[in-house]
Amino acid sequence: MNYLSTRGGMAPVGFGDAVLMGLASDGGLLLPEAIPEVRDRLEAWRGLDYASLAFEVMRLFADVPDDDLRRMVDRSYAVFRDPEVAPVKPVGPLWIMELFHGPTLAFKDVALQFLGHLFEYLLEQRGGRLNILGATSGDTGSAAIYGVRGKKDIRIFIMHPRGRVSPVQERQMTSVLDGNVFNLAVEGSFDDCQHILKSIFGDVEFKQRHALGAVNSVNWARVMAQIVYYFYGAFRVMDSTGAGRVRFSVPTGNFGDILAGYLAWKMGLPVDRLVLATNENDILAQFFTRGVYRRGEVHATLSPSMDIQVASNFERYLYYRSGEDPRKVRHLMETFRRTGGISVAADASGRIDPVFAAGRGSRELTLAVIRRYREDYDYLADPHTAVGIGVAEDFCDPEAPMICLATAHPAKFPDAIREATGEEAQHAILDRCLNAETRTERMPADEQAVRAFIADHALEAGSETESE
């Protein structure tokens, strides 16, 4: 499978190059040149365990010999604490698919455990080294760090918005003291961090000189690995209910997770509706309800990992929406850059996209859902998951069961849980990092400062990672 850019400004590249490239060299995002159609495989896939299903889905996209791919997949999911990897549970009127049983208690582990092994594999095959640059609003950072900590020939630089991730998330990242890990606490928002990231990746000479790689969902491998659990969740719920199609509700910020669901639907999974749920940073909910995508101020909310305005993966959606025409994507992205907004017309039935429904979960709704699901169903949802549940409740349909993605463990957000229920949410994994020593570099929200830090600390060609 070859990969092309949403902006059409580069020749197609193979899978390994696409993974190591991260952002396309023309500033666009990479996508497979064709989406495989899998309707005739659904029955055969239905009985597979998580790792076997992941292998079948990913081998359609990844040009890696089967034995090697299978080994990486097995290693990635063996570390999950639940043998099902993504268990799906009936809770009240809904189904909840728990994606937080990996090492850092968030859905990011599902893809980043795999990406860590994939990077290592590609470097073994090709030689060389990699300096990873990432931006996080809280969860990608620790999942990426845990995916590559101590790995030979890899260094990782993660920018997070200082004081705007939960204290637990911050300690998860900064308590990792391996010599190949650098946490940069940036004085700004996640959007500032992501802007710096894209701008640095857009400088192809700098990127090549420092062998920069991406762990954010700009990296196609992230999205690819996330497609798997849509199949897994749909199969489990269709098996249990006899339904022929399902809905998914996805708490959304950077649009990576729900994009994976959209691609699963394009592959032929019977997805009846994708419910996009945002917090008060509702630029995407506005788009899918009114057709208007307009940048605003970032608000701090109870679900900080979704405190995002400019959603990176939206560009991939625009590519499909524009009939896979890179000229149209370039025009839309340029209009957004110049004016801070774009708008599209609804279809004849008044919908922006018939596959998507959307809504916004306020602070009050988030707290009310956490409290109500605890009291009525003995289920403790984290605030991001609660936003997804709260919005999902408006879109339930008896013909198509609703699967809500539980994207993080509640113990990552103890303040919100305490406010909603009075409980102290805990997890042994987190207790360990709460009192540990930490290491962080403070940084202004300034691209030049980040570049200078990378230039000083990146692995140079032929050098080795020293791990503590």
Ligand X SMILES: Cc1ncc(COP(=O)(O)O)c(C=O)c1O
Ligand Y SMILES: N[C@@H](CCOP(=O)(O)O)C(=O)O
Min dist. Cβ of residue 141 to ligand Y (A): 6
Closest CA to 185 of 155, 150, 141, 131: 141
Q: Per-residue contact track with ligand X, 287 to 326, x per CB under 6 A?
A: ------------------xx--------------------
Q: Which two tokens stand for residue 350?
A: 């008044």
Tokens of 282: 């509702």
What are the beta bridge partners of residue 276? 250, 358
Q: Give the C-alpha separation, 358 to 356, whole Å.
A: 7
Residue 25 or 281 with smaller CB distance to ligand X: 281
Residues at the site binding ligand Y, with contacts judged by CB under 6 A: 136-141, 216-217, 253-254, 256, 305, 312
Q: Are strands 30-32 and 3-5 parallel, antiparallel or unpaired?
A: antiparallel
d(Cα 134, Cα 145) in Å, to the nearest integer?
10
264 alpha-carbon distance from chain centroid: 15
CB of 164 to ligand Y, least distance (A): 11
Nearest to 293 by CA among 274, 275, 278: 278
225 contacts ligand X (rule: CB under 6 A): no
> Which one of 22, 27, 87, 253 is in contact with ligand X (CB under 6 A)?
253
Structural contact between residues 12 and 63, judged by C-beta atoms closer than 8 angstroms? no
Q: Are 82 and 389 in contact (CB under 8 A)?
A: no
Residue 151 designated active-site? no
Binding track, positions 68-107, relative to ligand X; x by CB under 6 A? --------------------------------------x-
According to DSSP, residue 230 is labeled H
Shortest reach from residue 136's CB to ligand Y, in Å? 3
Site string for ligand X, 410-429 (x = CB under 6 A): --------------------
Please state the closest distance from residue 263 (CB atom) to ligand Y, in A: 14
E-strand ranges in 321-424 read 341-343, 356-360, 402-406
256 binds ligand X (CB under 6 A): yes
CA distances from 275 to 229, 385, 446 (A): 16, 13, 36
Q: Which stretch binds ligand X (CB under 6 A): 178-186, 204-212, 251-259, 321-329?
A: 251-259
Question: What does 216 interact with, of ligand X, ligand Y, none (CB < 5 to 8 A by kind)?
Answer: ligand Y
Active-site pick, 89, 108, 151, 328: 108
| 282 near ligand X, judged by CB under 6 A | no
Residue 145 binds to ligand X (criterion: CB under 6 A): no
Please list the active-site residues.
108
Residues forming contacts to ligand X in the complex (CB under 6 A) are 106, 138-139, 217, 251-257, 305-306, 384, 407-408
